[in-house]
Structure 1
Amino acid sequence: MIAKIIYGQTCTGTLNYVFGKEGMQILGYGNTFSQSISPKFFASVLYFQGQRNATKNRYAHISLNLPHGEHLDDRTFYKISEEYMENMGFGNQPYVVVRHNDTKHEHVHIVTTTVKEDGKVLGIYNSHKRSIAIRQHLEKKYGLTPAPTKKQKSQLPIYRLPEKQFGMEAEKGTKYYLQDVLNSINQKYKVRSFDELARLVKRYHIEIRTTKNKTGRIGVAYGLNNQKGYKTRFINGSEVHRGLSGPKLQKVFDVHSKSKLLPIYRQRLLKQIETTYNLFKTIRPHDLEAVLKEYQDIDIKLDIKEDIIEGYTIYDKSRYVFKARELGKNIRMQNRLEIFGNGDAFTEIDTESKQFKLEVQKTIKEALTTSYLKSPKQNGLLSEHIMKSKLEDVVPAILASEKYSFLERYVPRNQKSEFRKVMENEFPMVRKKIYELENKKEKALLDDKFKLIGNILEKRIFNVGTEQGSIRLLFQALGVKYHDNQLSFTQSDKHIVPVKLGNLTFPKEMEKYVSSGFVRQNHLMLEMLTEQSSVNSPKLTAAAMFLPMIFPQLYDRMDADYKKQYESVALGSYIKNAERMHEPFEKSAKDYIALFNAKGFYFVKGEKGIEVKSIYTDNKSSCTLPKRTSQYLGSIPDLATTLQGQQPVINDLIEKGRNKLENLWAGHLMEKGLYDNFAYMLTIENVRPNLHWEVVRHHMDNGLRKCMNHMIQQKASVQQNRLLKKGVYAINSLLGGSGNKTEEMYNGFKDELTNYSKFKKSKGITF
C-alpha cells in the first residue's frame, strides 16, 4: 500500500475533485454528528474549521493506494482509513473517506483539516516518517502487499495515466496526474531549465509549452499525449498547482543554476569519466551504462534516436542532471572514436595503461587491509601484518574484492596471464608503500594516546594512580600497555614511548579481553572530555553508551562531574542511533516515547526543553532533545499524562533487575541483526533484552526464531538445549505470550566482543 499526503491552503478544488469523480463512493465520515450528511454540508464544516487559523497547511489530502490486482471490500478499506487517521493524529478531526474506481488499482481519498476546533493547529511533525511506519503496520495487520521502502536510484515509478475520457472529468484526472509526476520530478532532481524539465517528463507522455510576455514574465502550460489517441488540451501551470507556474518554477531553476557547488560537481564527474576512459582500450557504446555504474557508481542513460546513440545523460547523486557535452568536449563519445569507434567491439581494459596499474594497486591495498580486519586473530599491528603478508596470503581477499571482479571481467581473455603478472609485480611496491604509511600513522597514534593519558591524569577524570597499579586500567582501556618504563600498543612492542613510572603492580581484576571497536570509542570519548577533539573528529556512535560495561573497573573510578558530562554525551549518541532504529515502528509521538520507555529511557520537562534520562545512568544525568524533537513530542494533546504514564514501565524494568547495560546491549544486538550473539546472551548468560514487544516480534519473524531453532537442533547437550528453549520462552514472555562495508569491519558490534566463542574465555566482563 502507498500512502500520500499533500497539505494545502484551500480545500474547495480538492473536494470538488474527490466528490465529483464519476462512480465515487463515500465510505464514511469521521467525527461528524451523522453519517447521513451531504457532501456540500461536510465541505462547509471543513472550510469553516480550517479558516480558524492562518497557517498555509490548513487542509490535508491523503490517498491510500493498493497495488494492481489487490482488492479490499468497502468496510475493510474504511476501517484501514480510520486506523491510519487515528495513528496520524487526525482521529479527532472531521474527515471524509471517498473511494474512486477510475484507475486499475483500488484507492481512497481522505480530506481533512489540520486546524482543531479551538483554532490551534495539529502537530504534523515527521508526517512522512510516521506515515511509513503506520503503512507498514497496516500492511502487516491486514495482509497487504508491502510498498517498496527504498527509493529508486535513477528511475521514477510510472504513474497511472488517465484513461481516455472527455469533458471536465478528464481534465481533473489530468491535473492530478500532472501534479504527481511534476512534483516527483522536481523533488528527485535539481532541474535548471524548462527544456531540461521537458526532457525529464517526456517518458511520462507530458508535453511542456512556455511563453514569454513583453515584460519577460515566463508562462508554462502542460498537456498529455500518450500517442494512443489520448491527447489533452494544454493547462496553465498555475491551474495544475500553484507551485508549478512559470514564474515560481523559474525562481527554483535560477537557484539551482547559480549554486556555487555546481562547478565542483561538474569537475568531479569530468574527472571520474576521464578516469574511466583512461582505463579502457575499447568500450562498446551500449556497455557504457554498466561500466560507469560499476566502476564509478555513476548513473547514466544513453540518448538514442532512431537507433543512433547521440550521447548520454548523467543523473548525478547531487540530484543534478547533466548532458555529457556540458562537462567537456573530450568526454563526448563522438570525440573519442578510439574508444567508441569500433562499433560492437568487446569492451576491454587497456592492460598497458597507467590507470590499470593504479587499479591493481588499489585492489592489493584493499586486500591487505581487509585480510587483517577479517582475521580471527589480529596478532600485531596492521603494519606488521602487511610486512609478513605474501601475495598468496591475500589472494582470498583479492578474489572476494569487487574491484578485482570488475577488472577481471573486462581484461582481454588472451591477457589473463598478464593480469596476474601485473598483480605479482605490483604487490611488493604496494606492500612497502602501505607499510610506511601505516607505520607512520601508528607512531602518531601512540604519541596521541600518550598525550591523551597526560591530559586525563592532569584533569583527574579518573581516580587512578601508580600505587596500586590502577593506572593500568586506563592504559588497557586505550589499547596500550606499560612494561619496563615503556608504553606500547597492547598487541605489539613495535612502537614505544619512554615513560618512567617504575614497577607498577596489577589491579586484582583486569579485563582479559578488550574490543578494538570499544577502545576506539573510548579514545574518542576521552578526547572529547579533555577537549582535544575538534569539529572534524570522528563522531561517537551508540557504542559510547556501553563503555562502563566494557571497562567497569575504570568507569567506577570516574570523577562525578566528568561522569555527568560523559553520560549526557553518551545518551545523545545512543538516542540518535535509536531514532533511526525506531523509524519502522514509530507511528506517532506517543510511539516515540513508548519505544524508548521499553529500552529504559524516559522523558521529563526541563528548563531548555524536553530532556531524556535513563535507568542506566545517574538520575541527575540527562540530554536535552533537539528543538524540533521537543516540538514533536509537545504536539501530544495530553503530554503531561503521557509523561506520567512512563513510570509504571520504568519501575517494572527496575523491579525486575533489568536496569543494567547488559539488558540494553542484548536488545542492541537484536536490533543489529546479530542473532547468534544475542541468543548466547539470552540463553547462556540469562540476559533479557530491553525492547518494545513490537520490535521483538519483528525480529522473531525476521530470522531470530529460525536462528534459535537452528541452534537448538545443533546443540548436543541436553542442558544447553534446555537453556536455549528457556530463551525462546523468555522471548515469548516479552511478546505477552503471543508469541558502509569498511565501517562494518571495524565495528565494535561485529568484533570479538560479540563472538561468544571468544568472549566465553573472558572472565572480567559480566553479561
Structure 2
Amino acid sequence: MIAKIIYGETCQGTLNYVFGKEGMRILGYGNTFSQSISPKFFGNVLHFQGQRNDTKNRYAHISLNLPHGEHLDDGTFLKISEEYMENMGYRRQPYVVVRHHDTKHEHVHIVTTNVKEDGKVLGIFNSHRRSIATRQYLEKKYGLFQAPTTKQKRQLPIYRLPELQFEMDAEKGTKYYLQDVLNGINQKYKVRSFEELAKLVKPYHIDVKQTKSESGRIGVAFGLNNQKGYRTRFINGSAVHRGLSGPKLQKVFDLHSKSRLLPMHRKRLLKQIETTYGLFKTIRPTEIEDVLKEYHDIDIKLDKNEEVIEGYTIYDKSGYVFRARELGKNIRMQNRKDIFSNGNEPTQFDTESKQFKLEIQKVIKEALTTSYLKSQKQEGLLSEHIMTMNFGDIVPNLTASKNHNFLERYIPRNRRTEFRKAVENTFPMVRERLYELETKKEKETLENKFKLIGNVLRKEVFNVGTKQGSVRLLFQSLGVKYNNNKLSFTNSNKHSVPVPLNHLPFPENMEKHVSSGFVRQNHLMLEMLSEQSSDNSPKPMASTIFLPMIFPKLYDKMNPVYKKQFESVALGSYVKHAERMHAPFEKSAKDYIAFFNAKGFYFVKGAKGFEIKSIYINNKTSCPLPKRTSQYLRSIPDLNEALKEQQPVINGLIEEGRNNLENLWAGHLMERGMYDKVAFMLTAEKVYPNLHREMVQHHMDSGLRESVNTASARHYNIQQNRLLRKGVYAVSSLLSGSGKKTEEVYNGFKDEFSDFTKPKRKGMGMGLPW
C-alpha cells in the first residue's frame, strides 16, 4: 500500500474532484455527528473549520493506494482508512473517505483539515515518517502487499497511468498525476532548468511548456501526451500545485545551479570518467553503462537518436543530472575515437597503461588488509601481519574481491595467465610500500595516545594514580600497555614510547578483553573531554553509552564533573541513533515516547523544552531534545497523561533488575541484526533486551527466532554433556525417563520467545512490553 499526503490552502477543487468522479462511492465520514450528511454539507463543515486559521496547510488530501491485483471490500478499506487517520492524529478531525474506480489499482481518497475546532493547527510533525510506519503497521495487520520504503528501491509514486485518463482536465485526474510525478522528480533530482525537467518527465508522458504573460511574467504549463496519442490541454503549474509554478520552480533551479558543491561534483565525475577511459584500450559503446556502474558506481543512460548513440547522461548520486559534454570535451564519446571508434571490438583493458598497473596495486593492498581484518585472531599490528604474508596467502581474498573480478573480466582470455603473473610479480613491491605506510601510521597513533593519556591525567578526568597501578585501567581502555617503563600497543611490542613510571605495579583484576571498536570510541570521547578534539573530529557514536559496561573499573573512577559531561554526550548520541531505529515503527508521538520507555529512557519537561533521561545513569543527567521534537511531543492531545504512563514502565524495568547496560546492549544488538549474539545472551547469559514488544516481534520474524532456537538446542546439548560426564548414575537417571521431560522443558523455553501472548514468568524478567 502506498500513502500520499498533499497539503493545501483550499479544499473546494479537491472536493470537486473527489465527489465528482464518476462511479465514486462514499465509504464513510469521520468525527461527524451523522453518516447521513450530504457531500455539500460536509464541504461546508470542512471549509468553515479550516478557515479558522490562516496557515497555508489548512487542508489535507490523502490517498491510500493498493498495488494492481490486490482487492479489499468497502468495509475493510474503510476500517484501514479509519486506523490510518487515527494513527496520523486526525482522530478528532472531520474527514471523508471516498472510493474511486477509475484506475487499475484500488484506492481511496480522504479529505480533512489540519485546523482544530479551537482554531489551532494540528501537530503534523514527522508526518512522512509516521505515514510510512502507519502504512507498514496496517500492511502487516491486514496482510497487504508491503511497499518498499527506501528511495533507492521506491519508484516514482505514479498511481494513475496516463493511458487510462480520458476527458481529463484540471479539476479531475490530470493534475494529481502531474503532482505525483513532478514532486517525485524534484525530490529525487536537483533539477537546474526547465529543459532538464522536460527531459526527466518525458518517460512519464508529460510535456513541459514555458509561458509568458502579457506583463512579461515567465510561467510554465504541463500536459499529458501518452503513447496512444491522447493529449490533454496544458495546465498552468500553479494550478497543478502552488510549488510547481514557473517562478517557484525557477527559484529552485537557480538555487541548485548556484550551489557551491556543484563544481566539486563536476570535478569528481570528470576525474572518475577520465580514470575509466585511461584504464581501457577499447570500450564497446553499448557497454559503457555497465563499465561505469561497476568501476565507479556511476549511473548513466545512453542518449540515442533512432538507435544512434550520441552520448550519455549521468544521474549522479548527489542528485544532479549532467550531460557528458557538460563535464568536459575530452570525455565526449565523439571526441574519443581512440576508445569508442569501433563498436564491434570487445571491451578490454589497456594492460600497458599506468592506470591498469595502479589497479593491480589496489587489489593487492585490499587483499592484504582484508586478510588481516578477517583473521580470527588479529595477532600483532597490521604492519607485522603484512610482512608475514606470502602471495599464496592472499589468493583466496584476492579472487573473492569485486575489484579483482572486474579486472579479470575485461582481459582477453589468452592474456589472463599473463595478468595473474603480473599480479604476483607486483605483490612484493606493494607489500613493502604498505608496510612502510602502516608503520608510519602506527607510530603516529601511539604518540597521539601517549599525548592523550598525559592530557587526561593532567585534567584529572579519572581518579587514577600510579601508586596502586590504577592508571593501567586508562592504558588498557586506549589499547596500550605499560611494561619496563615503556608504553606500547596491547597486541604488539613493535613500537614503544618511553614512560618513566618506576615499575608500575600490576593490579590483580583487570579487564581481559578489549574490543578495538570500543577502544576507538573511548579514544574519541576522551579527546572530547580533554578538549583535544576539533570540529572536524569524528563524533561519538551510539555505542559510546556502553563504555562504562566495557570499562567498568575505569568509569567507576571517573571525576563526577566529567562523568556528567560524558553521560550527556553519550545520551545525545544514543538518542539520535534510536530515533533512526524507531522510524519504521513510529506511528505517532505516543509511539516515540513508548519506544524510548521500553529501552529505559523517559521524558521530562524542562525550562526550555523536553529533556530525556535514562535509568542507566544519574537521574540528574539529561539531554535536551531539539525544539521541533519538543513541539512534536506537545502535539499529543493528552500529553500529561502520556507522561504519567511512563512511570509504571520505568519502575517495572528497575524492579526486575533490567536497569543494566547489558539489557540495553542486547536490544542494541537486536536492532543491528546481530541475532546470533543476541541469542547467546538470551540463552546462555539470561540477559533480556530492553526493547518494545513490537520491535522484538519484528526481529523474531526476521530471523531471531531461528537463532534463539539454534542457541537453545546448543545450550541444552552442553548441559546434557556436563551431566553425562558426572558418571554412570547421572547417565542412567537421564535415560530412565528424564529425556521426555527435558524435551518439554526445551519446548517451553523456546515458546517464551515464540509466543508473546503468553504471560511471562517473573524469573524470566519479561514484565515489560515484550
| Pair in the same fold by TM > 0.5 | yes
> Structure 1 residue 239: deviation in Å?
2.1
Q: Is the 8 A contact 1:683 1:726 kept in 2?
A: no
> Structure 1 residue 728: deviation in Å?
3.2
In structure 1, the residue matched to 2:386 is: 386
In structure 1, the residue matched to 2:521 is: 521
> Structure 1 residue 724: deviation in Å?
6.7
In structure 1, the residue matched to 2:503 is: 503
Q: How does 1:131-210 map to 2 (within 5 A)?
A: 131-152=131-152, 156=156, 159-163=159-163, 167=167, 172-210=172-210
Q: How does 1:292-691 map to 2 (within 5 A)?
A: 292-691=292-691
Q: Is the 8 A contact 2:667 2:691 kept in 1?
A: yes
Compared CA separation, residues 733 and 613, structure 1 to 2 (3 A): farther
More off after superposition, 134-143 vs 220-229: 220-229
After superposition, the C-alpha distances for 1:351-403 in whole angstroms (9 at most, x for unaligned) are 11111111111111111111111111111111111122222111222122111
More off after superposition, 80-89 vs 448-457: 448-457
After superposition, the C-alpha distances for 1:465-484 in whole angstroms (9 at most, x for unaligned) are 11211111111111111111
In structure 2, the residue matched to 1:226 is: 226
> Structure 1 residue 607: deviation in Å?
2.0
Q: Is the 8 A contact 2:612 2:623 kept in 1?
A: yes
Compared CA separation, residues 40 and 92, structure 1 to 2 (3 A): same
C-alpha separation in 1, matches of 2:184 and 2:606? 41
> Structure 1 residue 718: deviation in Å?
5.0
1:381 maps to a residue whose letter is L
C-alpha separation in 2, matches of 1:214 and 1:333? 44
Q: What residue ranges of structure 1 are gaps of 5+ in the alignment? A: 740-767
C-alpha separation in 2, matches of 1:2 and 1:473? 54
> Structure 1 residue 521: deviation in Å?
0.8
Q: Secondary structure at the match of 2:511?
A: coil
Q: Secondary structure at the match of 2:584?
A: helix
Q: Is the 8 A contact 2:67 2:106 kept in 1?
A: yes
2:750 maps to a residue whose letter is V
> Structure 1 residue 726: deviation in Å?
6.6
C-alpha separation in 2, matches of 1:299 and 1:165? 32
> Structure 1 residue 11: deviation in Å?
0.8
Matched, 1:728 2:769: no
C-alpha separation in 2, matches of 1:547 and 1:725? 36
Q: Secondary structure at the match of 2:110?
A: strand
C-alpha separation in 2, matches of 1:113 and 1:171? 20
Q: Is the 8 A contact 1:282 1:339 kept in 2?
A: yes
> Structure 1 residue 53: deviation in Å?
0.9
After superposition, the C-alpha distances for 1:277-315 in whole angstroms (9 at most, x for unaligned) are 111111111111111111111110001121111111111
> Structure 1 residue 158: deviation in Å?
5.2
Matched, 1:244 2:267: no
> Structure 1 residue 581: deviation in Å?
1.0
> Structure 1 residue 169: deviation in Å?
6.1
Q: Secondary structure at the match of 2:457?
A: helix
Compared CA separation, residues 732 and 614, structure 1 to 2 (3 A): farther
> Structure 1 residue 32: deviation in Å?
0.2
- Give the TM-score, by structure 2 length: 0.93
1:344 maps to a residue whose letter is N
Compared CA separation, residues 484 and 203, structure 1 to 2 (3 A): same
In structure 2, the residue matched to 1:106 is: 106
Q: Is the 8 A contact 2:680 2:711 kept in 1?
A: no
Paired residues in the alignment total: 739
Compared CA separation, residues 492 and 717, structure 1 to 2 (3 A): closer
C-alpha separation in 2, matches of 1:208 and 1:678? 55
In structure 1, the residue matched to 2:260 is: 260
Q: Secondary structure at the match of 1:22?
A: coil
> Structure 1 residue 235: deviation in Å?
2.0
C-alpha separation in 2, matches of 1:150 and 1:377? 37
> Structure 1 residue 153: deviation in Å?
6.8
> Structure 1 residue 56: deviation in Å?
0.8
C-alpha separation in 1, matches of 2:380 and 2:473? 21
Q: Secondary structure at the match of 1:5?
A: strand
Compared CA separation, residues 464 and 137, structure 1 to 2 (3 A): same
Q: Is the 8 A contact 2:683 2:708 kept in 1?
A: no
After superposition, the C-alpha distances for 1:172-193 in whole angstroms (9 at most, x for unaligned) are 2112111111121122111122
Matched, 1:290 2:312: no
1:523 maps to a residue whose letter is H
C-alpha separation in 2, matches of 1:730 and 1:569? 36
> Structure 1 residue 708: deviation in Å?
2.1
C-alpha separation in 1, matches of 2:251 and 2:164? 34
Matched, 1:83 2:89: no
> Structure 1 residue 329: deviation in Å?
1.3
C-alpha separation in 2, matches of 1:600 and 1:155? 38
In structure 2, the residue matched to 1:750 is: none
> Structure 1 residue 215: deviation in Å?
5.4
C-alpha separation in 2, matches of 1:4 and 1:370? 45
In structure 1, the residue matched to 2:274 is: 274
More off after superposition, 160-169 vs 106-115: 160-169
1:537 maps to a residue whose letter is S
Compared CA separation, residues 724 and 431, structure 1 to 2 (3 A): farther
1:123 maps to a residue whose letter is G
In structure 2, the residue matched to 1:751 is: none
Q: Secondary structure at the match of 2:112?
A: strand
Q: Is the 8 A contact 1:162 1:170 kept in 2?
A: no
> Structure 1 residue 246: deviation in Å?
2.0
C-alpha separation in 2, matches of 1:379 and 1:166? 72
C-alpha separation in 2, matches of 1:725 and 1:502? 59
C-alpha separation in 2, matches of 1:610 and 1:636? 13
> Structure 1 residue 226: deviation in Å?
1.3
**Aligned-CA RMSD value:** 1.9
Q: Secondary structure at the match of 1:585?
A: coil
More off after superposition, 705-714 vs 114-123: 705-714
In structure 2, the residue matched to 1:39 is: 39
2:644 maps to a residue whose letter is Q
Compared CA separation, residues 313 and 457, structure 1 to 2 (3 A): same
Q: Is the 8 A contact 1:315 1:321 kept in 2?
A: yes
Q: Secondary structure at the match of 1:377?
A: coil
Q: Is the 8 A contact 2:300 2:315 kept in 1?
A: yes
Q: Is the 8 A contact 1:464 1:557 kept in 2?
A: yes
Q: Secondary structure at the match of 1:301?
A: strand
Q: Is the 8 A contact 2:65 2:159 kept in 1?
A: no
More off after superposition, 580-589 vs 151-160: 151-160
- Give the TM-score, by structure 1 length: 0.93
C-alpha separation in 2, matches of 1:299 and 1:155? 16
In structure 1, the residue matched to 2:768 is: none
In structure 2, the residue matched to 1:747 is: none
C-alpha separation in 1, matches of 2:354 and 2:276? 12
C-alpha separation in 1, matches of 2:154 and 2:281? 28
Q: Is the 8 A contact 1:708 1:724 kept in 2?
A: no
Q: Is the 8 A contact 1:223 1:231 kept in 2?
A: yes
2:684 maps to a residue whose letter is I
Compared CA separation, residues 701 and 507, structure 1 to 2 (3 A): same
C-alpha separation in 1, matches of 2:424 and 2:468? 53
Compared CA separation, residues 732 and 598, structure 1 to 2 (3 A): farther
Compared CA separation, residues 442 and 470, structure 1 to 2 (3 A): same
In structure 2, the residue matched to 1:696 is: 696
C-alpha separation in 1, matches of 2:179 and 2:25? 23
Q: Is the 8 A contact 2:283 2:340 kept in 1?
A: yes
Q: Is the 8 A contact 1:154 1:315 kept in 2?
A: no
Q: Is the 8 A contact 1:693 1:735 kept in 2?
A: no
Q: What residue ranges of structure 2 are gaps of 5+ in the alignment? A: 722-741, 762-770
In structure 1, the residue matched to 2:707 is: 707
C-alpha separation in 2, matches of 1:643 and 1:571? 20
Q: Is the 8 A contact 2:289 2:302 kept in 1?
A: yes
